[in-house]
A and B are shown apart, each in its own frame.
Chain A
Amino acid sequence: MAPDKTPDTRLSHTAAMILQALDAGFVYGFSIMEMTGLPSGTVYPAMRRLERDDLIRSQWEKQSIADAEQRPPRKYYKLTPAGRATLESSRKRYPLLERLFPTDEAYKL
């Protein structure tokens, strides 16, 4: 049988929480911090590693949108297909993960 190439078995609970938060619509660092309750020193490094592993992808918000809201542009993160597959596997491993962030509480972009 071919080995499972998804890195879900090595994914920590913190990383799984971040993926879940992203999937729920909390798409920038501070919002993830707020929703997970994790400190900045944990969230941002974890997101760097997830991005390095191609589980998430980042994109800068358009300047015009930020200007309209009178704030600096944010760096948004979203799940990649690999990240989504990993999250599915992690949900099996961490059954309570889905209950942490109901999707309807997510920030609307």
Chain B
Amino acid sequence: MTHPGNPIARALDLGLIAGAWLFVPAGERMEWWREWRAELWQARHEHACDGRVTWPSERALFSFCLGAYQDALCLRRLERRTRPAHRVRFGAAWQCVLLLVILLGASYALSRVLPGVRAQQKLARVSTRPGLVLIQDVNNEDSPATISSGQYRAWKDRKQEFFDDFAFYRVTRENVRWPQHDDSGWGVARASSNFFSLVGLPVQPVSAESRIVLSESAWRKEFGANPDIAGSEVLLGSRRVTIVGVVPDGAWLSMWDTDSRRSARAVRCTCSW
């Protein structure tokens, strides 16, 4: 196939038509491009002057190529008018609103089932301090550290502090016994004494004595939601501890599945720092 006319002028014309091609509906672009290339070839063949660029012929070809834009826009308009599938799929405005309401309802129902979301909802009901930083023991292999020990030391030694307090916690697995029950393994978070005040929970460790705070699920599961549980003693490993209260699941941390939270003195917290 021969290409009549000057190659640079031909490339410019093709570029013009390629610009119009962008306006053509996607499904018709291939055929449209093929037709316009053939028509341009024909137009160039009719206006060719032995390979020379002449102003009148190039002007005529330029006008011809500009027509491609009108053609492309016409196809676009026609395509918009004949789009029944699109209308059926998205429907009227009230159908969209109904669909949105159904989706929102389904999302809410799903959120009621997912345990992580439920824990977050319970957490939202507890007032926690903004900008709270909880630092977990890095030696705990079961769970990742929130920051490294190096970062912690850097924060601790810095004179200009961006925080006003630290609290430690460490999640371990320990055997727990209480009267008339067999041993059972609990996930226990050992925390520093300022922990509850830092996260905003109304639990006050009043003495050096070991005390334990139950999560709501552990309280219901292990103690049958006994309302008189406060003051009872359980054996945590070899230590006797007193139950001082119950907090909602995920009230201070939603990421760890712990059965109890033990309040202890900072010096007795088994942290590696």
Q: Do A and B bind each other?
A: yes
Asked if A75 and B71 make an inter-chain contact with CB atoms under 8 angstroms apart, the answer reads: no
A52–B82 CA distance with the chains assembled, in angstroms: 10
Chain A CB within 10 A, most for which of B46, B68, B71, B75: B71
Chain B CB within 10 A, most for which of A28, A34, A73, A75: A75
Contact-size category for B? 20 to 34
Asked if A40 and B64 make an inter-chain contact with CB atoms under 8 angstroms apart, the answer reads: yes
Asked if A70 and B67 make an inter-chain contact with CB atoms under 8 angstroms apart, the answer reads: no
Asked if B41 and A71 make an inter-chain contact with CB atoms under 8 angstroms apart, the answer reads: yes
Q: Which of B32-49 contact A (CB under 8 A)?
A: 34-35, 37-39, 41-43, 45-46
A66–B37 CA distance with the chains assembled, in angstroms: 13
Asked if B1 and A70 make an inter-chain contact with CB atoms under 8 angstroms apart, the answer reads: yes
Asked if A71 and B1 make an inter-chain contact with CB atoms under 8 angstroms apart, the answer reads: yes
Known: A39-B63, A72-B1. A45 touches B71 (CB 8 A): yes
In this complex, how many residues of chain A approach chain B with their Cβ under 8 Å: the count is 24
Report chain B residues within 8 Å CB of A93.
none
Report chain B residues within 8 Å CB of A29.
35, 39
Q: Which of A24-48 contact B (CB under 8 A)?
A: 28-31, 33-34, 39-45, 48
Shortest C-beta distance, B18 to chain A (Å), equals 16
Asked if A44 and B42 make an inter-chain contact with CB atoms under 8 angstroms apart, the answer reads: no
Q: Does A91 contact B (CB under 8 A)?
A: no
Q: Does B2 contact A (CB under 8 A)?
A: yes
| Residue from B2, B37, B71, B82 in contact with A44 in the complex, judged by beta carbons closer than 8 Å | B71
Known: A30-B46, A40-B63. A74 touches B38 (CB 8 A): yes
Report chain B residues within 8 Å CB of A41.
66-67, 69-71
Shortest C-beta distance, B69 to chain A (Å), equals 7
Report chain A residues within 8 Å CB of B71.
40-41, 44-45, 48
A29–B41 CA distance with the chains assembled, in angstroms: 12
A73–B34 CA distance with the chains assembled, in angstroms: 9
Report chain A residues within 8 Å CB of B38.
28, 71-75
Q: Does B78 contact A (CB under 8 A)?
A: yes
Asked if B42 and A28 make an inter-chain contact with CB atoms under 8 angstroms apart, the answer reads: yes
Asked if B78 and A49 make an inter-chain contact with CB atoms under 8 angstroms apart, the answer reads: yes
Measured CB to CB, the nearest residue on chain A to B4 is A71
| Residue from B42, B66, B74, B82 in contact with A74 in the complex, judged by beta carbons closer than 8 Å | B42
> What per-residue 1/0 map shows which CB atoms of B48-67 lie under 8 Å from chain A?
00000000000000011111
Chain B CB within 10 A, most for which of A28, A70, A72: A72
A30–B65 CA distance with the chains assembled, in angstroms: 12
Shortest C-beta distance, A96 to chain B (Å), equals 25
Q: Which of A1-56 contact B (CB under 8 A)?
A: 28-31, 33-34, 39-45, 48-49, 52
| Residue from A52, A67, A71 in contact with B42 in the complex, judged by beta carbons closer than 8 Å | A71
Report chain B residues within 8 Å CB of A73.
34, 38
Asked if B42 and A40 make an inter-chain contact with CB atoms under 8 angstroms apart, the answer reads: no
Shortest C-beta distance, A82 to chain B (Å), equals 18
A74–B46 CA distance with the chains assembled, in angstroms: 15
Asked if A75 and B74 make an inter-chain contact with CB atoms under 8 angstroms apart, the answer reads: no
Known: A30-B39, A43-B67. A71 touches B46 (CB 8 A): no
Q: Can you report 17 residue pairs joining A to B where beta carbons are below 8 Å apart? A: A28-B39, A28-B42, A29-B39, A30-B39, A30-B42, A33-B64, A40-B39, A40-B65, A44-B74, A45-B75, A48-B74, A52-B78, A70-B2, A71-B1, A71-B2, A72-B34, A75-B35
The 5 closest A-B pairs by CB, nearest first: A40-B67, A45-B74, A41-B67, A41-B70, A44-B71
A residues whose Cβ falls under 8 Å from a Cβ of B: 28-31, 33-34, 39-45, 48-49, 52, 66-67, 70-75
